[in-house]
Homo-oligomer: A and B are copies of this chain.
Amino acid sequence: MAVSVRDVAERAGVSLGTVSNVLNRPDKVSAATLERVRAAIDDLGFVRNDVARTLRAGRSNTIGLVVLDAGNPFFTDLARGAQERAAEEGLNVLLGDSGDDPEREQSYLDLFEEQRVRGVLISPMGDVGERLRRLRASGTAAVFVDRSGADLAFSAVFVDDVQGGRIAVEHLLETGRRRIAFVGGPLGLQQVADRWQGARAAVASVADASIELLETAALTVEQGREVAAALLARPADERPDAVFAANDLLAIGLLQGVVMLGTLRVPEDLALIGYDDIDFASAAVVPLSSVRQPSREIGRTAVDLLLRAADGDEEPRRIEFEPTLVARRSTQA
Contacts and interface: CB of A to CB of B under 8 A. Distances in A.
Interface of A: 1-3, 45, 47-52, 54-55, 60, 70-71, 73, 76-77, 79-80, 83, 92, 94-95, 97, 110-111, 113-116, 134, 138-139, 221-222, 225, 252-253, 256, 259-260, 279-280, 283-285
9 contacts: A1-B138, A2-B138, A47-B113, A48-B114, A49-B114, A51-B116, A52-B55, A70-B79, A221-B283
Contacts of A138: 1-3, 45, 47
A218 to B, nearest CB: 13
A114 B50 CA distance: 5
Contacts of A71: 73, 76-77, 80
Given A2-B139, A256-B285, A284-B256, A50 B134 contact: no
Contacts of A50: 114-116
Given A47-B138, A70-B79, 12 more contacts: A48-B114, A49-B55, A70-B76, A70-B80, A71-B76, A71-B77, A80-B97, A95-B95, A221-B283, A222-B283, A256-B285, A260-B285
Contacts of A55: 49, 51-52, 55
A214 to B, nearest CB: 19
Contacts of A285: 256, 259-260, 285
Contacts of A113: 47
B51 A279 contact: no
A138 B7 CA distance: 14
Nearest to A76: B71
A222 to B, nearest CB: 8
Contacts of A222: 283
Contacts of A95: 95
Give the residue among A50, A110, A134, A252 with the most B Cβ atoms within 10 A: A50
B221 A115 contact: no
Given A50-B115, A259-B285, A279 B221 contact: yes
A80 B48 CA distance: 30
Nearest to A114: B50
A253 B3 contact: no
A222 B287 CA distance: 13
Nearest to A92: B111
Contacts of A115: 50-51
A81 to B, nearest CB: 12
A322 to B, nearest CB: 24
Of all A-B residue pairs in the complex, the 3 with the closest CB atoms, nearest first, are A50-B114, A221-B283, A51-B55
Nearest to A2: B138
B139 A47 contact: no
A276 B101 CA distance: 27
A248 B284 CA distance: 14
Contacts of A134: 45
B1 A139 contact: yes
